[in-house]
C-alpha cells in the first residue's frame, strides 16, 4: 500500500521551534511504523519560503530573501538530521522544480473558469499571511495569534472561486475520518456553513513570490504557492510531467498532519483547489494541538521559546521523543513541564523499561552461563505473557495506524509493566536456590527477556535509538521489511551469548535554565 504523509511546509522567518519539531517527530513516527508494516511510504516535509513575512525578515537582517532562506533552510535540514527524521522528500518553494508545477496548476484552475480579477479590501496579518475577519468598529485591530496590529489592504488581486465548491466541500468535511481528531471537525463545519467566500490568490507588487503567468505584477499568494508544494515534492527530479501523472508518483496524500491553526487551509481551501485542478483529494487531515510551556504560550517576547537544539543537547533524543509522543495526546493541546518531563523519563524509560532489561539480563548471565536460557519453545507457546502481549500488539497496530500515538506508547509501557509484575510474582531469585527449579526459572527468564525484546521492537518507530540499544543487548535485529515477523513470540535465540548489561537510559536530572 502507498502511504504519503506530509508535515506543513514551515515558514523560514525564523529557526525551527518546538512546534515544528513536534509535528515532524509525529510524522516521523507514523512513517517509520508504516515502513515496518511493509507500506511504500513517502514522507514529505519542507519549507515555505515566499511571501511578505519572509521578505520583511530578510530585509530586517540586511540579507537578500534568498540568502536568508538558504540560512534557515539549512537549519531545518540540520535539525532533522540531528533528530533522525526519516523524511523522503524535502520541498523548498524556491526550488526551480516547484515553479512549473505551480504554473501548470494555475493554468488548469484558470481553464476551469475559477479565476477572476477582483478587489481585495481588508485587514491582513503578515504573521499569519492571511486576511482576518474583524469587527467593523475596531480602528486598530490586532491579530489574536500574533498580538500585532493588522494592516489595511486594498488592492486588485486574482481570486479563486471557492464559493463554487460549497456543496462539494460540505460533503467532503462531513465524511467520517476526513478531519481528525473529530473535535476539530465542528469548527470547520461551522466555518463552511457560514458560506464560503472566494479568496485572493495573488498579490501585486510583492516581488518575493512566483509570478502569475499572464498577469504581470502579480505574484502568487504564499498559501496558494505553498500548498502546491505537496505536489512538487512528488516530482523530485523535476521531470516535465503533467499534474495527472502525479497520481502514479504518490498523490493523493494519505494524511496531511498540521497544527490546528492551519486546518482551514488544508481542509477547505486546498481540497477546493484540487477539485478545480482535477486532482484527487487527500484522504485525511489531522490537526494537532498547540504546545505551551509551563502554562504559558511560547514566544520571543516572553523569552520562553524552547529550542529543539538545546533540548537535544540537554536531554537527548529518546527522552524528548518519548515525552512529546507519550505525554501529549496527539490532537490535543499540551503543556511542556520540565519537572514532569524528567519524572516521566525516569519512571518509564529508566525504571520500567531500562531496569527490566538490566536486571533480567543480569540474572540470565548469572544463572545461565552468560547466555540466554535454554528452553523448549513448545512449552512457552501458550505462556500467559504471550497471550497478554499478542492482544496488546494487535491494539498497538490499530492505534498506530489511526495516529493515536500516545496510546501506542502507553501500550508499549504496559508490556514492560506486565513483564516486571510477572518477574516480581515468580521471584526467580528465590526459586533458583533450589536446583530442581532450574527449568522453570529458565522459562521465566526467557519469557521476560522475550517480552523485553518485543518492547524494543515496538519502540522502534517512536524511539529508534533506544530501540536499537535494547535490541543490541539482546542480539536481535529487526526485520525492517516484515516487522510483524519481529513481533512474533519466541524469536529470541536460546543460548545466545550475553554481555554485561549497560543501562539503556540514564536517569535525567532537572537542569537549570540555560
Ligand atoms: N507555512 C505555513 C504552512 C504551509 S503548509 C503548505 C505555516 N508555517 S508555520 O511555520 O507557521 O507553522 C507550521 C506548523 O507549526 C503549523 O502546523 C503550526 O500549527 C505549528 N505550530 C506553531 N506553533 C506551535 C506550537 N506552539 N505548538 C504546536 N505546533 C505549533 O503555517
pLDDT (0 to 100) of residue 128:
87
Mean pLDDT value of segment 99-114: 98
Three-state DSSP class for residue 287: strand
Q: Hey, which of 49, 130, 228, 262 would you mutate to test ligand 1's pocket, going by the most ligand atoms within 8 Å of its Cβ?
A: 262
| pLDDT of 49 higher than 70 | yes
| pLDDT of 512 higher than 70 | no
| Cβ pair 80, 45 in contact under 8 A | yes
Read off the pLDDT of residues 433-492 as tens digits, 9 standing for 90 and up.
999 999 999 999 999 999 999 999 999 999 999 999 999 999 999 988 778 889 999 999
Cα-to-centroid distance, 46 and ligand 1 (Å): 12
- Pocket of ligand 1 from Cβ distances under 6 Å: 8-11, 19-20, 22-23, 48, 226-227, 229, 258-259, 261-262, 290-291, 298
Q: Locate the ligand 1 atom nearest the alpha carbon of residue 20 and give its number.
A: 15
Band (pLDDT 50/70/90 cuts) for residue 314 is: very high
Q: What percent of the chain has pLDDT over 90?
A: 88
Domains of the chain: 2-289 (3.40.50.620), 337-486 (1.10.730.10)
Q: How far apart are CA 360 and CA 235, in angstroms?
A: 50
Which of 400, 385, 402, 507 shows the shortest CA–CA distance to 459?
Answer: 400
pLDDT (0 to 100) of residue 355:
98
Read off the pLDDT of residues 57-77 as tens digits, 9 standing for 90 and up.
999 999 999 999 999 999 999
Q: How far apart are CA 124 and CA 82, in angstroms?
A: 36
Q: Which residue's alpha carbon is at the smallest distance from atom 19 of ligand 1? A: 259
Read off the pLDDT of residues 248-290 as tens digits, 9 standing for 90 and up.
999 999 999 999 999 999 999 999 999 999 999 999 999 999 9
Read off the pLDDT of residues 72-96 as tens digits, 9 standing for 90 and up.
999 999 999 999 999 999 999 999 9
State if pTM tops 0.85: yes
Mean pLDDT value of segment 292-303: 83
Q: Hey, which of 13, 18, 19 would you mutate to test ligand 1's pocket, going by the most ligand atoms within 8 Å of its Cβ?
A: 19
Q: Residue 115: which H helix or E strand, with range?
A: strand 115-125
| pLDDT of 4 higher than 80 | yes
Band (pLDDT 50/70/90 cuts) for residue 148 is: confident
pLDDT (0 to 100) of residue 497:
96
Q: Which residue's alpha carbon is at the smallest distance from atom 6 of ligand 1? A: 227
pLDDT (0 to 100) of residue 513:
55
Q: Which residue's alpha carbon is at the smallest distance from atom 21 of ligand 1? A: 19
In terms of Cβ atoms closer than 10 Å to its own Cβ (0-12, 13-18, 19+), residue 319 is: buried
pLDDT (0 to 100) of residue 136:
64
Cα-to-centroid distance, 22 and ligand 1 (Å): 10
pLDDT (0 to 100) of residue 514:
47
pLDDT (0 to 100) of residue 501:
96
pLDDT (0 to 100) of residue 305:
87
Q: Hey, which of 6, 7, 8 would you mutate to test ligand 1's pocket, going by the most ligand atoms within 8 Å of its Cβ?
A: 8
- Tell me the H-state helices in 233-307: 263-264, 270-276
Cα-to-centroid distance, 376 and ligand 1 (Å): 54
Mean pLDDT value of segment 336-362: 97
Q: Which residue's alpha carbon is at the smallest distance from atom 18 of ligand 1? A: 259
| pLDDT of 385 higher than 50 | yes
Cα-to-centroid distance, 130 and ligand 1 (Å): 14
Mean pLDDT value of segment 225-231: 98
Mean pLDDT value of segment 194-199: 96
| Strand duo 291-293 + 334-336: pairing | parallel
Read off the pLDDT of residues 316-348 as tens digits, 9 standing for 90 and up.
999 999 999 999 999 999 999 999 999 999 999
Q: Locate the ligand 1 atom nearest the alpha carbon of residue 10 and give its number.
A: 10
Residue with cell 500515538: 405
DSSP annotation of 219: E
Cα-to-centroid distance, 507 and ligand 1 (Å): 32
Mean pLDDT value of segment 404-416: 98
Mean pLDDT value of segment 123-147: 84
Cα-to-centroid distance, 503 and ligand 1 (Å): 37
Cα-to-centroid distance, 11 and ligand 1 (Å): 8
Three-state DSSP class for residue 374: coil
| pLDDT of 299 higher than 80 | no
Cα-to-centroid distance, 290 and ligand 1 (Å): 9
| pLDDT of 244 higher than 90 | yes
Three-state DSSP class for residue 123: strand
Band (pLDDT 50/70/90 cuts) for residue 303 is: confident
Residue with cell 515525552: 323
Q: Hey, which of 9, 10, 22, 306 would you mutate to test ligand 1's pocket, going by the most ligand atoms within 8 Å of its Cβ?
A: 10
Q: Locate the ligand 1 atom nearest the alpha carbon of residue 47 and give its number.
A: 1
Mean pLDDT value of segment 426-431: 97
Q: Locate the ligand 1 atom nearest the alpha carbon of residue 260 and give its number.
A: 19
Amino acid at each position: 500500500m502507498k502511504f504519503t504523509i506530509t508535515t506543513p511546509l514551515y515558514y523560514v522567518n525564523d529557526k525551527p521551534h518546538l512546534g515544528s519539531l513536534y509535528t515532524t517527530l509525529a510524522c516521523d513516527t507514523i512513517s517509520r511504523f508504516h515502513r515496518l508494516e511493509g507500506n511504500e511510504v513517502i514522507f514529505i516535509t519542507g519549507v515555505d519560503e515566499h511571501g511578505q513575512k519572509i521578505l520583511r525578515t530578510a530585509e530586517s537582517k540586511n540579507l537578500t530573501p534568498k540568502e536568508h532562506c538558504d540560512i534557515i533552510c539549512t537549519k531545518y535540514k540540520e535539525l532533522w538530521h540531528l533528530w533522525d527524521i526519516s523524511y523522503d522528500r524535502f520541498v523548498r518553494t524556491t526550488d526551480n522544480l516547484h515553479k512549473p508545477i505551480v504554473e501548470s496548476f494555475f493554468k488548469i484552475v484558470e481553464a476551469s473558469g475559477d479565476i477572476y480579477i477582483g478587489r481585495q479590501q481588508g485587514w491582513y496579518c503578515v504573521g499569519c499571511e492571511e486576511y482576518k475577519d474583524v469587527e467593523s468598529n475596531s480602528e486598530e485591530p490586532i491579530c489574536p495569534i500574533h498580538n500585532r496590529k493588522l494592516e489595511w489592504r486594498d488592492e486588485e488581486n486574482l481570486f479563486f472561486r471557492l464559493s463554487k465548491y460549497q456543496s462539494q466541500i460540505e460533503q467532503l468535511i462531513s465524511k467520517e475520518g476526513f478531519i481528525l481528531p473529530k473535535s476539530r471537525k465542528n469548527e470547520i463545519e461551522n466555518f463552511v456553513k457560514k458560506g464560503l467566500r472566494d479568496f485572493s490568490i495573488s498579490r501585486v507588487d510583492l516581488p518575493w513570490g512566483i509570478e502569475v503567468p499572464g498577469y504581470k505584477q502579480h505574484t502568487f499568494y504564499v498559501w496558494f504557492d505553498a500548498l502546491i508544494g505537496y505536489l512538487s515534492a512528488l516530482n523530485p527530479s523535476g521531470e516535465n510531467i503533467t499534474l495527472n501523472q502525479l497520481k502514479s508518483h504518490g498523490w493523493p496524500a494519505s494524511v496531511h498532519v498540521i497544527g490546528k491553526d492551519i486546518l482551514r487551509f488544508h481542509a477547505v481551501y486546498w481540497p477546493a483547489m484540487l477539485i478545480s485542478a482535477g486532482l484527487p483529494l487527500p484522504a485525511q487531515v489531522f490537526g494537532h494541538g498547540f504546545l505551551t510551556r509551563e502554562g504559558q504560550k511560547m514566544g520571543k517576547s516572553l523569552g520562553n521559546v524552547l529550542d529543539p537544539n538545546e533540548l537535544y543537547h540537554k536531554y537527548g533524543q529518546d527522552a524528548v521523543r518519548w515525552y512529546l509522543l507519550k505525554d501529549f495526546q496527539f490532537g490535543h493541546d499540551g503543556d511542556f513541564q520540565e519537572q514532569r518531563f524528567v519524572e516521566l523519563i525516569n519512571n518509564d524509560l529508566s525504571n520500567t523499561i531500562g531496569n527490566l532489561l538490566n536486571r533480567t539480563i543480569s540474572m540470565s548471565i548469572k544463572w545461565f552461563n552468560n547466555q540466554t536460557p535454554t528452553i523448549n519453545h513448545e512449552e512457552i507457546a501458550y505462556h500467559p505473557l504471550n497471550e497478554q502481549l499478542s492482544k496488546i500488539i494487535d491494539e498497538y497496530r490499530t492505534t498506530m495506524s489511526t495516529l493515536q500515538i500516545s496510546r501506542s506508547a502507553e501500550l508499549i509501557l504496559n508490556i514492560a509493566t506486565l513483564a516486571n509484575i510477572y518477574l516480581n510474582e515468580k521471584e526467580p531469585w528465590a526459586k533458583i536456590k533450589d536446583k530442581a527449579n532450574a527449568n522453570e526459572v529458565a522459562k521465566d527468564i526467557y519469557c521476560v527477556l522475550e517480552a523485553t525484546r518485543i518492547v524494543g521492537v515496538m519502540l522502534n518507530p517512536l524511539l529508534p535509538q533506544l530501540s536499537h540499544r535494547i535490541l543490541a543487548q539482546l542480539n536481535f535485529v529487526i526485520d525492517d521489511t516484515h516487522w510483524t515477523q519481529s513481533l512474533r513470540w519466541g524469536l529470541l535465540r536460546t543460548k545466545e551469548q550475553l554481555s554485561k548489561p549497560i543501562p539503556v537510559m540514564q536517569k535525567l536530572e532537572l537542569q537549570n535554565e540555560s
